Structure 1
Amino acid sequence: MRELELTDGESLDFARTHSGVVLPSKTSVNPYLIGLKIWEDIEKRYDHPTEEMKKRFGARAGQGREKMFEVREMESDTSFIRNYLTEELVRELDLYLYQKVGNEWRIVETDWEKVRDKIWKSRTNGGYPLLHVVDGDYQLTGELYLVHAYEGNELDVKYTEKTLPSVYKLWGRTVHVESVLEGRAVVFSYDGRKTTRKFL
């Protein structure tokens, strides 16, 4: 950006926008920050490869930018994270998994591979949950029964409870979504009047 002939206002706009994109968050993962750090790491590692990288991958010094273009061509968002988010980056970015235990939030996992896997899995399907229609005539009443393909990522409870009335509007009858919450099977239901939650 410094090489472009920008006005002071344009430079300020860029700096403000850029800092907003790569700003770390204390409560969630900023995928743009992680992506930027991975790109920087790829360039650094392939500009100055270790002896092991030279032997295993045939890496030569000064190939960082070339490797970045190769990765850009070959990887999807999910494979990019899975293949290039290293243990060192997980530590540098202070990434960990946390969840609510009782009434407080606690760190529940710091193993870098589990943290990496949780991040790339959360990007699968664009970060949207995968739901399967299991029964369109549940209990022989025309109710809709959906099952969330749970793979370690819980549904956002508030969003689920706000979404069910819209699904009800489309279906015209009671709708149910089965998932996992706090390690237990649960069914969210909406009958046209209220949303309920029942653990199985």
Structure 2
Amino acid sequence: PQAAPAMSTPMSQDDYMTVVVTPKLTFQLCRRAEWKIVQDITQEELRRGFLSRFPPALWMSSEKFSFRAALPPTAAITEDTTSLVFKLVSDEVPDERVMLSILRELEKSYEGIIRRAVNETRSEALQEHFMQQEQVEEARREQDKVVKELRKDCKSLRDQLQSVQKRLFLVEQEKDQLRQEQNHTKERIARLEREGAEKSREARDERQAIREQLAAMQKLLEAA
């Protein structure tokens, strides 16, 4: 509705006039001092008041319809005038179909909003799906890298172990020292294998979680 003029006291119910649009639709207009007769209320003021009944996102072009007062245009507006009755008319459609055409236009606007929301949701879901796929690929690449490094380390350690074992047979006087090195090497292998197993398990858990998320997103997309 039109903004109220600046006042020193709060607005009361008496400061508003009820507009009844046939059939049975009402809205409020803030009284204006210059309204002396019915025709003083402009079509623009009536259109703004009418559109205020609907969410702003559904507002339509109001130039195609206008309001025809039930009273004569010169009928006086007094302090006792609490409501006025108007009929919606249009040059484009018969009078009895004006409200129906407005409701259809509102329905189309609502459908457009829903369609855009669905498209935006689908687009966001697809983007999230692609991001999750990229995360899966990144996790797989990281896992392959870790496994490759672990295999390389294990091979290197096994080669060292074989060398130590050969030296044990060749150099009896270094027996104690070689045994210590062998034990150290075995401990390192065990630690690396445990770390590798732990990382592999974490990667599997992460892949499983991502798969479950992808499945959930797929269900949402199918439902949409």
Q: TM-score with structure 1 length normalisation?
A: 0.21
Calculate the TM-score normalised by the size of structure 2: 0.19
Greater share of residues in strand: 1
Rg (Cα) greater in structure: 2
Instruction: Name whichever structure is richer in helix by fraction.
Output: 2
